[in-house]
Structure 1
Amino acid sequence: MNTMTPQPDHSLSIDQCWALLDAEPVGRVALIVDSHPEIFPVNFVLERRTIVFRTSGGTKLWGAITAKPVAFEIDGYDAHEQTAWSVMARGEAELIDGQAEKDAADALLLEPWQPGEKNFYVRVAPRALTGRRFKVNAPDLWKTRLSDPRRSVFE
């Protein structure tokens, strides 16, 4: 039986959300593809308070430029503070055509991790940006999976 009381969420400010986005190299873009949701991990950079990622021609590209709106999400866990956080951006995606804009993204070290040609640049301009941070429950040493990052408090 869990006797722990729920911990309150703490909403993050817009600036805190941008700072967390700026600190992460990988996020997830959520799109509607063929009438159903799909989520794709992408490497990204922030360029002029927009999210930019590269992709090849395919499902992700087609979904990004035809699905309106799109969502972008990152999350993390701070083992030292024993807090988790999440940031969600919602907006529209557009294909970047201009070489100067592509060069600006590349100058920010936009480098896909997955091998292969990633010649298409996509920009997500958030219309809504929200985030939250919360204290996580202390793990139960005997019932917590070995892969759970909260176990680091035991080691």
Structure 2
Amino acid sequence: MDRWTPRTRYEEISPERCWPLLESQQVGRLVWNGQEGLSVATMNYAVDDLTVLLRTLPYGTVARECDDRPVAFQVDHAEPTTRTGWSVLVRGRAFFDDEDEIPREAVDVWPDGSRVLRLRVVPRQVTGRRLVLVGADRRPALLA
């Protein structure tokens, strides 16, 4: 019996449609160029007023290397059975955020530790791509 393999193609996602996708997830990747070269940290986040809000350790690498620096933040979601999904990339600048109006709980941080330092990614560019099924390639009812 042949194994059905879905056919997919990429579609661009407008910046306006990227924000609801960002809001739908809790984990993304922060990318920056630090002392060791390109670095990536998987982090919990929240979307706040068309920016990305992170919490980190005040004495960690992210705190030392990301304030007032260019960064990228990437979030994605995949459906392995259909080989579909999406990816959103936020390019911008990270800044320490000391606004008192934002509660510490705004970002649900999973790992233990004193992640009290808030870092805000202010976007310069937001792009996204979606991998969608090609219309004529719906899974057949029976495989010969």
TM range (shorter): 0.7 to 0.9
**Larger relative CO (CA 8 A, sep 6+): 1 or 2?**
2
In the TM superposition, what are the counterparts of 1:70-85 in structure 2 within 5 Å? Answer: 70-78=71-79, 82-85=83-86
Q: CA deviation at 1:97?
A: 1.5
TM-score, normalisation: structure 1: 0.74
2:30 paired with 1:29: yes
Check conservation: 1:75, 1:84, Cα contact below 8 A. Answer: yes
Q: CA deviation at 1:64?
A: 1.5
TM-score, normalisation: structure 2: 0.79
Identify the structure with the greater strand proportion: 2
Match of 1:51 in 2: 52
Check conservation: 1:85, 1:131, Cα contact below 8 A. Answer: yes
Structure 1: state its 5+ residue gaps.
138-155
Identify the structure with the greater helix proportion: 1
Identity over aligned residues, as a percent?
Answer: 29
Match of 1:63 in 2: 65
Structure 2: state its 5+ residue gaps.
135-144
How far apart, in 2, do the equivalents of 1:136 and 1:34 lie? Answer: 41
Q: CA deviation at 1:81?
A: 5.4
In the TM superposition, what are the counterparts of 1:1-155 in structure 2 within 5 Å? Answer: 7-34=8-35, 36-57=37-58, 58-66=60-68, 68-78=69-79, 82-100=83-101, 102-103=102-103, 106=105, 109-135=106-132
Q: CA deviation at 1:61?
A: 1.1
- RMSD in angstroms over aligned alpha carbons? 2.3
Tell me the number of residue pairs that the alignment of Structure 1 and Structure 2 aligns: 128
